[in-house]
Each structure stands twice: as structure tokens, then as C-alpha cells.
């Protein structure tokens, strides 16, 4: 099978809810990975290719609303769940997910640095350090 991906994928396990457009309710699950163009998540039920879906991704006290289109599905033989791959519909939606990923990375960095320093590092302090150290490298992953 030939590789069709245009973007590098990054592991990111993050909670999300999805709803098939005009569907009755949101279903809770989590991401497996993300890229500039879309994301992959697990689902109990298969979703038809080309279906548009609404995604809610919570981050702290805020929820990001993203629109996407299903581009591939595959049943995982180990879990019996479906891996659902979606493409973002707009650049704005892709940017929201990139922002979420960056915040998760900064939070991981904050926890690690707190352990190294032997004190609790604030999110603001960690953000400033992380941006100085890693923002150029992070930017190159996408642009």
C-alpha cells in the first residue's frame, strides 16, 4: 500500500468528542495522533468516508470546536475499535489543533522542569522557557 500522507504525524493523546454532522449526540474518545492536515482517533463504530464531523477538543476550561471530514477508517484487529482519520476543513481548524498540541507540550515540559528544579514551575514560566528553547524546532515540524 502506498503512502498517501502529506504531513508528518505527531503522537498526541488528547480527549475529544465527535459528532457526525447533524447526528444526534457527541461521542467521547481520544486522539491517537495529529498532523497539520488532520488527526486520527479511535471509535467504537465505523464512520462513513467523506462524512463531515464536528469535533470538540477540551483544553483547560476551554473547548475548541473543529470541523473535519473523514478520509479513512480501519478496524484495529487487536481492540476491535475503528481508527478514524479526518482532514481539517479549514486552515483555522488546523491552527487550533496545532495550538492545543503546543500547550500540551508546554505542560509536559512544566512537569519535567518542576521535577528537575524541585519546585512547582508556573505555566507562564514554563511557557516562556519552552518558547525560547523549542518554538523554532516546533515550527519546522509544520511549516
Interval 46-74 mean pLDDT: 91
Q: What is residue 8's predicted lDDT score, i.e. its pLDDT?
A: 43
Query: Does position 69 have pLDDT exceeding 60, yes or no?
Result: yes
* H or E segment to which residue 95 belongs: helix 91-117
Q: What is the pLDDT of residues 119-137, one digit of tens each?
A: 999 888 988 888 888 777 6
| pLDDT on residue 138 | 62
Is 51 a residue whose pLDDT tops 70? yes
CATH 2.40.10.220 is right for the domain spanning 10-90: yes
Return mean pLDDT, the chain. Answer: 83
Rounded Cα distance between 57 and 120, Å, is 27
Amino acid at each position: 500500500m502506498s503512502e498517501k500522507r502529506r504531513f508528518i504525524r505527531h503522537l498526541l493523546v488528547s480527549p475529544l468528542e465527535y459528532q457526525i454532522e447533524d447526528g444526534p449526540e457527541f461521542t467521547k474518545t481520544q486522539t491517537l495522533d495529529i498532523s497539520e492536515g488532520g488527526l486520527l482517533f479511535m471509535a467504537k463504530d465505523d464512520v462513513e468516508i467523506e462524512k463531515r464531523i464536528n469535533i470538540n477538543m477540551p483544553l483547560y476550561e476551554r473547548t475548541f470546536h473543529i470541523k473535519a471530514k473523514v478520509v479513512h477508517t480501519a478496524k484495529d484487529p487487536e481492540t476491535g475499535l475503528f481508527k478514524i482519520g479526518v482532514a481539517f476543513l479549514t486552515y483555522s481548524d488546523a491552527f487550533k489543533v496545532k495550538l492545543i498540541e503546543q500547550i500540551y507540550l508546554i505542560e509536559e515540559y512544566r512537569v519535567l522542569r518542576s521535577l528537575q528544579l524541585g519546585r512547582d514551575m508556573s505555566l507562564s514560566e514554563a511557557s516562556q522557557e519552552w518558547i525560547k528553547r523549542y518554538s523554532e524546532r516546533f515550527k519546522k515540524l509544520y511549516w
